[in-house]
A and B are shown apart, each in its own frame.
Chain A
Amino acid sequence: GQQVMQIPQYQHVQEGEDFTTYCNSSTTLSNIQWYKQRPGGHPVFLIQLVKSGEVKKQKRLTFQFGEAKKNSSLHITATQTTDVGTYFCAGNSGYALNFGKGTSLLVTP
């Protein structure tokens, strides 16, 4: 079945540094979604990418969908302490979402 791999598992940065998490699928995806889960909270939908090579931005967050629609990345520019949390990608096979294991981001002032 479809597998979604996400790296790194953990990332610790100083405030102001950039951060990137990568997501790879074993199969071609119809779309990919990104979620953020704050410590102690529940996942919150961030964005969905549908088109091959699509790039979307939300303030300091840049989301990219690969040309082959099998990989994606989330890049945060100049991290802030409010960015702390676990970022999950979820690959859409057309039937169900398969979540990656998430990347936990810790930002220290």
Chain B
Amino acid sequence: GAVVSQHPSWVICKSGTSVKIECRSLDFQATTMFWYRQFPKQSLMLMATSNEGSKATYEQGVEKDKFLINHASLTLSTLTVTSAHPEDSSFYICSASRTSGSQTQYFGPGTRLLVL
């Protein structure tokens, strides 16, 4: 159990377009979902935490109007990178937790975004 999927696994887009990434918990209900960004050979940088039905909590320095997060159900969260620019190119990984905040997180396979 505890499988998390992410779609798409990779995406290439033109500068100025918006990209939506979906994160789904396939076999459990995720009270909390997390969105991370990882640059090559670097650690995971938490972008935001979202609880089902409420607004996401963004980490300092992360623009909430740039990275729109929707956690509409206990099994789905989406991250939309709006008006993407080349510097937004990165590996975006979601994770899901059965309970709020601090319990074990199950990671999705990640989405590689390349903005041209």
- Which A residues form the contact surface with B (CB < 8 A)? 30-31, 33, 35, 41-45, 48, 88, 90, 92-97, 99-102, 104
Contacts and interface: CB of A to CB of B under 8 A. Distances in A.
A88 B105 contact: no
Given A94-B102, A102-B43, 20 more contacts: A30-B102, A33-B104, A33-B105, A35-B107, A42-B107, A42-B109, A42-B110, A43-B93, A45-B105, A45-B106, A95-B102, A96-B49, A96-B102, A97-B46, A97-B105, A99-B46, A100-B43, A101-B42, A101-B43, A104-B41
A28 B108 CA distance: 29
Contacts of A104: 41
A43 B42 CA distance: 12
Contacts, number: 46
A99 B43 contact: yes
A88 B42 CA distance: 11
B8 interface: no
Interface residues of B, number: 17
**Chain B interface secondary structure, helix, strand, loop or mixed?**
loop
